[in-house]
Structure 1
Amino acid sequence: MDPEIVSFTIPTESNKIVFVWNISALRSEEEIYFSLLQVFSQFGALYTLKIFPNAGDPGYYAVIKYYCARDARRAQEACDHKNLFQDSPLKVRVCVKQKGFQYKSLLLNSSRCQDLANHYLGFNGWSKRIIALQNISGLDEDEGDPQEEIKQRYLCVLEVLIPAYGVSSRGVGVAEETLIKQKDPTDFLQKTGNLQKYAAQKALSDAFQKILLLVFENGKVAVEYVSPDDNTVDCLTEEELQGLIQVNDFTWTSFNPDGEEEILGELTFHEDALGAED
């Protein structure tokens, strides 16, 4: 059987959505959530699990979205009309396909990309490193008198490595924010550090967009790199990339594609992994 392709984008296909109803109201929503999570995460990686109260009747229903359609089908086959964590049986169905609706693929944020990579490749199956993290705030703006508001803009180039498959992919992320000059320099430095982390997280998400996971029926996984039309970032040497950044030869607005909002996470910056910074 052909493998199923899993990309690092928000799943929108109807055959990846599972509806669960006939959920008893004898438990709290929190208990129901964790019970459902424990059961349905056994069949594959989940993108979302949401619980809703029934309209007018006691009880709940849930909507679960998988990254892989095969996992959704297996969940239905194993759980439909089974009691599982309650006395009455649950009803489980994969969403009926709706024709005529086409959704734009949106990028997963960096946290979800890492979770998905960990699920299929293992925590030690991949790594990331920062090639460059550059302050580009003044590269495309005329210098003027100091203002109360300062627009800070950082560009990050990051590489994802999957050594077992010989795959590497670079991503670019740009984060900007208008900061107000503070009397306390510590506060300004903290906000600047957060901006650098946002740029790195966006770069990580961008790097994963060129990677596809091929999931086979027996659970084995293969990895493919998909070269984009504009492959400048992956083709250049690190020195050439640094040169492009220095002369502002990037159209930075193109590195803010539509996707999930980034949630500031913990990233450790090692000096030997960073590029030159103004």
Structure 2
Amino acid sequence: MEPEVVGFTVPTESSKTVFVWNIGAQLAEGDIYCSLLNVFSQFGPLYSLKLLPNAGVSEPGYYAVIKYYSSRSASTAQERCDRKPLFQGAPLKVRVCNKQKVFQYKSLALNSSKCQDLANFYLGFNGWSKRIIALQNISGLYELEDECDTQEQRKVRYMCVLEVMLSGYDVCSRGVGVAEEEVEKSNDPMEFLMKSGKLQKYAVQKALTDAFHKILLVIFESGKVAVEHVASSNDPVDCLTEDELQGLIQINDFTWTQINQDGEEESLSELTFYDETMANDM
């Protein structure tokens, strides 16, 4: 079997989606969710798991939609779990989605939390590390835009340049993230400092996402993993030395529009149990 390529992107392929039905209502919904998570996470990392009630015309119960990062994991889940009772008396029905893909969806980068989970699973907790190259306030780079701001508000922006290092593969990948927010000028200084801290954290998260987005994992059937770095050859973040990059930042001569890549929305707040594993992409 050929190796499978797994990127740090939101999985959209039908071959990575598993449907589970014939789930009874004997257990509480939370217990069913935990049972599904425990069973199906054995076959590979999950991007999302949704537990939904049956339609009103059906008997009480649930069905689930599970997304893996790997098609091989989805296929294994079907083979091992279909027509097995697992955590209930009646056997579950498990099928990989066979819907043909009509549209070519644009790949969205995973948010930083899911990037770290995926890296930890395939590379190990000690298989990668990160370091911040630069983290600074760049609010002054948008002077023309800021002229339109009211006297009561101003936009504060932070930029982060970060490097992800995969020591076992001799691979380094740099990413850039920018976070901005309108801040009341008359706010209490402590509140302003707290908001600035959150913006810095948000910029670091986005830079981490950008760095992982340039990495591909090649998964072999034996379980071995190879890594490829796929950054553009003219990407200044990867092409320049660290001193050159610092100088480019200092003279404010950076193409900021190139680093605002589309991806999953990051969140600075703590996610709930269900929100952390369910994505609104179905």
* Same fold by TM-score greater than 0.5: yes
1:51 is aligned to 2:51: yes
Q: In the TM superposition, what is the alpha-carbon distance from 1:257 to its structure 2 partner?
A: 1.2
Counterparts of 1:43-192 in structure 2, within 5 Å, are: 43-56=43-56, 57=58, 58-141=60-143, 147-192=151-196
Q: In the TM superposition, what is the alpha-carbon distance from 1:235 to its structure 2 partner?
A: 1.6
Q: In the TM superposition, what is the alpha-carbon distance from 1:227 to its structure 2 partner?
A: 2.6
The sequence identity of aligned pairs, in percent, is 70
In 2, Cα distance between equivalents of 1:97 and 1:68: 17
**Who is 2:280 aligned against?**
none
Aligned amino acid, residue 208 of structure 1:
F
- Tell whether the 8 Å contact from 2:13 to 2:101 is kept in structure 1 after alignment: no
4+ long deviations beyond 6 Å = 143-146
In 2, Cα distance between equivalents of 1:232 and 1:51: 44
Q: Secondary structure at the match of 1:187?
A: helix
Q: In the TM superposition, what is the alpha-carbon distance from 1:242 to its structure 2 partner?
A: 1.2
Q: C-alpha deviations, 1:205-254, integer Å up to 9, x for none? A: 00011100001111111111113143211121111111111122112122
**Who is 1:4 aligned against?**
4
In 2, Cα distance between equivalents of 1:265 and 1:70: 33
Q: In the TM superposition, what is the alpha-carbon distance from 1:147 to its structure 2 partner?
A: 2.6
| Residue among 198, 216, 228 paired with 1:212 | 216
Q: Structure 1 residues 220 and 42 mapped into 2: Cα distance closer, same or farther (>3 Å)?
A: same
Q: Secondary structure at the match of 1:140?
A: helix
Aligned amino acid, residue 167 of structure 1:
V
1:237 is aligned to 2:237: no
- Tell whether the 8 Å contact from 2:14 to 2:101 is kept in structure 1 after alignment: no
- Tell whether the 8 Å contact from 1:149 to 1:179 is kept in structure 2 after alignment: yes
Q: In the TM superposition, what is the alpha-carbon distance from 1:166 to its structure 2 partner?
A: 0.2
Q: C-alpha deviations, 1:63-121, integer Å up to 9, x for none? A: 00000000000000000000000000000000013142221101100010000000100
Q: Secondary structure at the match of 1:175?
A: strand
Q: In the TM superposition, what is the alpha-carbon distance from 1:12 to its structure 2 partner?
A: 0.1
In 2, Cα distance between equivalents of 1:6 and 1:169: 16
**Who is 2:26 aligned against?**
26
1:255 is aligned to 2:265: no
Aligned amino acid, residue 161 of structure 2:
V
- Tell whether the 8 Å contact from 1:182 to 1:188 is kept in structure 2 after alignment: no
- Tell whether the 8 Å contact from 2:53 to 2:62 is kept in structure 1 after alignment: yes
In 2, Cα distance between equivalents of 1:148 and 1:61: 51
Q: TM-score, normalised by structure 1?
A: 0.92
| More moved, 181-190 vs 22-31 | 181-190
- Structure 2: gaps spanning 5 or more residues: 271-282
Q: C-alpha deviations, 1:20-51, integer Å up to 9, x for none? A: 00000111110000000000000000000000
- Tell whether the 8 Å contact from 1:18 to 1:72 is kept in structure 2 after alignment: yes
In 1, Cα distance between equivalents of 2:236 and 2:83: 53
Q: Secondary structure at the match of 1:253?
A: helix
Q: Secondary structure at the match of 1:138?
A: helix
Aligned amino acid, residue 19 of structure 1:
F
Q: Structure 1 residues 44 and 218 mapped into 2: Cα distance closer, same or farther (>3 Å)?
A: same
- Structure 1: gaps spanning 5 or more residues: 267-278
In 2, Cα distance between equivalents of 1:107 and 1:99: 20
Question: How many residue pairs end up in the alignment?
Answer: 266
